[in-house]
Amino acid sequence: MELSDKTNSLIGWLFISLLVIVMLASVIILVATASVRRIMSEENTRFLQALDHQEELLHSNLLVQEKERRRIAADLHDELASRLNIVRLNLQWSPAAQGPSAIKPIALIDEALDITRKLSHELDPPLLRHFGFAEALTDFLQPLQNVLQVQVCFLGNSAQVRFDRIKERQLFRVVQEMVNNVLKHAQAHVLQVNLRISERWVGMCISDDGTGFDPETEKGGMGLSNIESRMQFIRGKYRYRSDPEKGTKIVLKVPLNTTRNAC
Amino acid sequence: MLDETWVTFFVRFCEVLAFTSTFVLMAALTLGILKYRHLGPAFQYFVVYLTMLLCSELIGKYFTYVLQQNNLILLYPYLVLEFFLVSFIYRELLQLKKRKRLIFNIYVWVITAGLGAYTLFLFSGEEAFTTTHFQWNPKALINGSILVYAILYLIHTLRHASVRNKITKTFLLINNGVLLYFSGSLIVFLSMNYLVNVSISISIFFFLSNAFLALIFYLFCLFAIWNYQTKQTR
């Protein structure tokens, strides 16, 4: 009887210790899980804040870049081009420069003036400023056919439709970058650009029959990251499909209902 | 003391819990295999561990219900494998620095080799596997070691919790299951040498607790693998 009591008491203690250990483990689990959750949520907040800050920096960088482009374009057009014009006129009307020896300097100045105008227009396309995205795009694409012997097909539904100026400008830069990539690397014969502007969005499709590229190897490249940051800035989406020897197709979509502060 | 009917009821209930655990384990393993390619190395080791658990459960049940004999002979090889695999999992998760990793490796190899040698020694004499002669201390040692790993991992998670680390997010759940199951199991197996010699009407509560904790552990595993995100979200 005494032995049985001892056994019972031992078993009882064992069972109590089992319960205590399990309860202790449960408490540790609850406290630790709550702490981990709190740490994770704090870290998540910090991470999101850092992400927002980064996005803000990127956006202000893009806006400053655009502002600077406009300033350089204006300087080129108003200062350099005017001075070159004055030099040209002086040369033209100078009695010392009436002979055939003056033709070469005047031609050189004309060339310099052309380059200055071209640079100024590329930096800040006047058509984009005054007539909108579709007109500027037509103006940008048209000369390519003559100069680079690439067959350019441009289809657009709305030449005069204007939308948010910042979006127009950023989208134009994106298309410029994409088309330049095609011309530089794709060795394409045909470049097709489709544009559709509705009340709520702008849709574009740029395709070529060039050599294509491997998206995995080009992922870290400046071109694609520039496009990505600009598209992110205007809250646009884009996707591309590229197969070696089959060309590249890029589809862009930019919503027009969201607004951003102008610089 | 319980009467015969209650003892039979609890024994049956214990069996039901054990079978339910096996099905939950099967479900967790199936999910683990389906997601295997997307899992990190620690989770992949964990799927291998689940496979080992299921195999030992099935072989154990084969011994008990088909061959009608005790399955104690399986316990030591199972312990060696369990310790080895769980150590691998936690070594991956704890991300130990050079010196600590070396100490950890030495500990694992010493215990594995010791246990392996002891297993071979036991296999030379058959009576070691009869219930009255069987020594449960190595099981308690392994449970204790795994419990220490789980506590170390909990401390590690508290120090390095990261919202972007999906392994931490999901393995914490499994670690909670490990803590819960192995802490209870440690007490059960520490006193097992004593419990096997007392009446079933007393020891049944311990076996029942162990079966219940095992079921909870497998449910934690199933839930963790179910929740493991195989797609990267941005």
User: CA A127, A128, A130, A132: dihedral to nearest 10 degrees?
Assistant: 110
Please report, rounded to a whole number, the percentage of residues in chain A having pLDDT higher than 70.
Answer: 87
Is B61 at the interface with chain A, CB within 8 A?
no
Please, which pLDDT band fits residue B32 given cuts at 50, 70 and 90? very high
Q: Which domains does chain B have, with CATH numbers?
A: 4-227 (1.20.1070)
Indicate which of B160, B178, B187 best probes the interface with A, i.e. most A CBs within 10 Å of its own CB.
B187
Q: Domain range for residue A171?
A: 129-263
Whether the predicted model's global pTM rises above the 0.80 cut: no
Please report whether residue A121 resides in a domain.
Answer: no
Q: Give the number of other Cβ atoms within 10 Å of residue A213's Cβ.
A: 20
Mean pLDDT of chain B: 85
pLDDT digits (tens, 9 = 90+) for A175-201: 888 888 888 887 888 888 888 888 888
Residue A258 reports pLDDT greater than 50: no
pLDDT digits (tens, 9 = 90+) for A112-152: 888 888 888 888 888 888 888 888 888 888 877 777 777 88
Position with higher pLDDT, A155 vs B17: B17
Picking from A214, A218, A223, the residue whose alpha carbon sits closest to that of residue A246 is A214
Give the per-residue pLDDT at A84.
87
Please report whether residue A207 resides in a domain.
Answer: yes
Please report whether residue A156 resides in a domain.
Answer: yes
Residue A263 reports pLDDT greater than 50: no
User: B160-168: which pairs have CB atoms within 8 A and are 24 or more residues apart?
Assistant: B161/A36, B161/A39, B161/A40, B161/A43, B162/A40, B162/A43, B163/A40, B163/A41, B163/A43, B163/A44, B163/A47, B164/A47, B166/B228, B166/B229, B167/B40, B167/B42, B167/B43, B167/B93, B168/A36
* Dihedral sign of CA atoms B94, B95, B96, B102 in order: positive
Q: What is the CATH number of the domain that holds A252?
A: 3.30.565.10
Residues of A in contact with B209 (CB under 8 A): 18, 22
Helix (H, G, I), strand (E, B) or coil at A12: helix
**Distance between CA atoms of residues B73 and B133, nearest Å:** 12
Is A103 at the interface with chain B, CB within 8 A?
no
> What number is the ipTM of this complex?
0.73
Q: Any idea which of A40-54, B93-107, B153-167 has the lowest mean pLDDT? A: B153-167
Mean pLDDT of chain A: 81
Please report whether residue A168 resides in a domain.
Answer: yes
Give the per-residue pLDDT at A2.
52
Strand order in the sheet with A151-156: A151-156, A190-197, A201-208, A247-255, A237-243
**Domain total for chain A?**
1
Least CB–CB distance from A22: residue in B161, B180, B198: B180
Give the per-residue pLDDT at B146.
93
Is B209 at the interface with chain A, CB within 8 A?
yes
Please report whether residue A252 resides in a domain.
Answer: yes
Please report whether residue A90 resides in a domain.
Answer: no
pLDDT digits (tens, 9 = 90+) for A54-111: 888 888 888 888 888 888 888 888 888 888 888 888 877 776 666 666 667 788 888 8
Residue B232 reports pLDDT greater than 50: no
